[in-house]
Chain A
């Protein structure tokens, strides 16, 4: 089974984790000022790269903390050590 490195617990089996999608999607600073187009981008549009992708994961069956990691979507290989960005 694929191992994922939790920054706090070390390498654990993939079934202990849940996926959170693209990392660094910030909540809009001035939500009321957004156009419909900008809202749509924030709510529905995410990057979908074939290659390295910075993603959120949560160690759901372990320490239950969130972290960001870069994974290559072609190989499922984690290409960067997980960063502790809670």
Chain B
């Protein structure tokens, strides 16, 4: 009898060296606030695409210990509007080559995503989104219930459940990746390029001179900065309050959870906005599940039990086979949500401070695309065309990019 391979045994080994623990220097051309996925990707592309390496990434905790370590790693680009298609599809193309670019295994697995429709309105909205995606060159199809069952045999497509599955959109190129490997891969490349990655260094204030910020105050001393790039996700409002810049952000706990390790049973990703749950199965075998945010504003990285209880009820109805799975862990991150469920990227009232925030429940998938476009924004001092529609000014002009349909429970 052969002994079974322990879960995770096939995961790749890490290289000996990841990054060097840097001491903060007195001054940098660019200071990036926040060492999550977005800050690290921005650092990487500043070096790679623009040759800018006199850069520090300041992280108040440990590297990628915020939402980057807490997300459920879903990657897709099937958003409704052209503006979103632009940035998310750019990101997806970068994901497709990221392992080579980083020289690091990120376990990007393009297993497809089903977004289920349960009502007639869901069906109409979904078909509309499929057509919009096709016009933008994004792979998308509409599947009826029988085809849904072919893609994912464990979904209950019978008519006798509370909200029967009427069909689904399918994006075959969607997938998952290993989020911590992604962060470490970006950090390693940035470090190789000479960028300082400084952990346990919290930005506590800004030194300003008229319309410019001249530096940041930190728990490890003052650091002068030519340009400041904010990548602080759920804590962006705390930083903007120090600068006196208002932004329409609300920080909420967002929870996720995993089961114990199971045999591979779930071949794809399934999301349902209507019954409020989404599920994939991680490489090691855990079922990874999540839903929408807790309603109240919260900075506690802790959510309420009734929220996950509700999402488990939905999961078990959709996947009867999960009924005997055990919950292993649950956790929460702090996500910065905007009124139109689209990010805020671009200029601020300060000439040399650039803003990247508001990715809410869905910014992991954007990591390489945002890093690429934000690095370009910082390097040239103006918004890259892919992020230009996402400026703070859209709340005044009214040019919102309303992605509530494609981004509420689905991340």
Measured CB to CB, the residues of A under 8 A from B are: 1-2, 14-15, 18-19, 21, 36-37, 39-41, 43-46, 48-50, 53, 55, 71, 73-76
Bits for B27-69, please: 1 = Cβ < 8 Å to A, else 0. 0000000000000000000000000000000000000000000
Supposing A44-B248, A45-B247, A48-B250 touch, asked if A1 and B306 sit within 8 A by C-beta, the answer is: yes
Nearest Cβ distance between residue A86 and chain B, in whole angstroms? 20
Q: Which of A21, A45, A50 contacts B235 (CB 8 A)?
A: A50
Interface of B is mostly: loop
CA distance A41 to B396 in the complex (A): 8
Q: Besides A1-B304, A36-B396, A37-B396, 15 other CB < 8 A contacts?
A: A1-B305, A14-B304, A15-B306, A21-B250, A40-B396, A43-B339, A45-B247, A46-B248, A48-B237, A50-B299, A73-B296, A74-B299, A74-B300, A76-B298, A76-B300
Judged by a CB distance under 8 angstroms, whether B302 is at the interface is yes
Bits for B257-288, please: 1 = Cβ < 8 Å to A, else 0. 00000000000000000000000000000000
CA distance A74 to B238 in the complex (A): 12
**B residues within 8 A CB of A15?**
306
CA distance A71 to B297 in the complex (A): 10
A41 touches B246 (CB 8 A): yes
CA distance A19 to B307 in the complex (A): 14
Judged by a CB distance under 8 angstroms, whether B121 is at the interface is no
**A residues within 8 A CB of B342?**
none
**A residues within 8 A CB of B297?**
21, 48, 53, 55, 73
B248 touches A45 (CB 8 A): yes
Interface of A is mostly: mixed
CA distance A71 to B298 in the complex (A): 10
Which of A18, A45, A55, A71 has the most chain B CB within a 10 Å cutoff?
Answer: A45
Enumerate the 9 nearest inter-chain pairs by beta-carbon distance, A residue then B residue, closest first. Answer: A48-B237, A44-B248, A19-B295, A40-B396, A50-B299, A40-B395, A44-B395, A44-B339, A45-B248
**B residues within 8 A CB of A40?**
248, 395-396
Supposing A1-B305, A37-B396, A40-B395 touch, asked if A48 and B296 sit within 8 A by C-beta, the answer is: no
- 22 A-B interface contacts by CB (under 8 A): A1-B306, A2-B304, A14-B304, A18-B295, A21-B297, A36-B397, A37-B396, A43-B395, A44-B248, A44-B395, A46-B248, A48-B251, A50-B237, A50-B238, A50-B251, A50-B299, A53-B297, A55-B296, A71-B296, A74-B299, A76-B300, A76-B302
CA distance A15 to B305 in the complex (A): 10
CA distance A5 to B66 in the complex (A): 32
Nearest Cβ distance between residue B61 and chain A, in whole angstroms? 15
Supposing A73-B300, A75-B300 touch, asked if A48 and B249 sit within 8 A by C-beta, the answer is: yes
Which of A21, A36, A46, A48 has the most chain B CB within a 10 Å cutoff?
Answer: A48
CA distance A21 to B398 in the complex (A): 22
Nearest Cβ distance between residue B290 and chain A, in whole angstroms? 20
**B residues within 8 A CB of A19?**
295-296
- Taking CB as reference atom, which chain A residue is nearest B247? A45
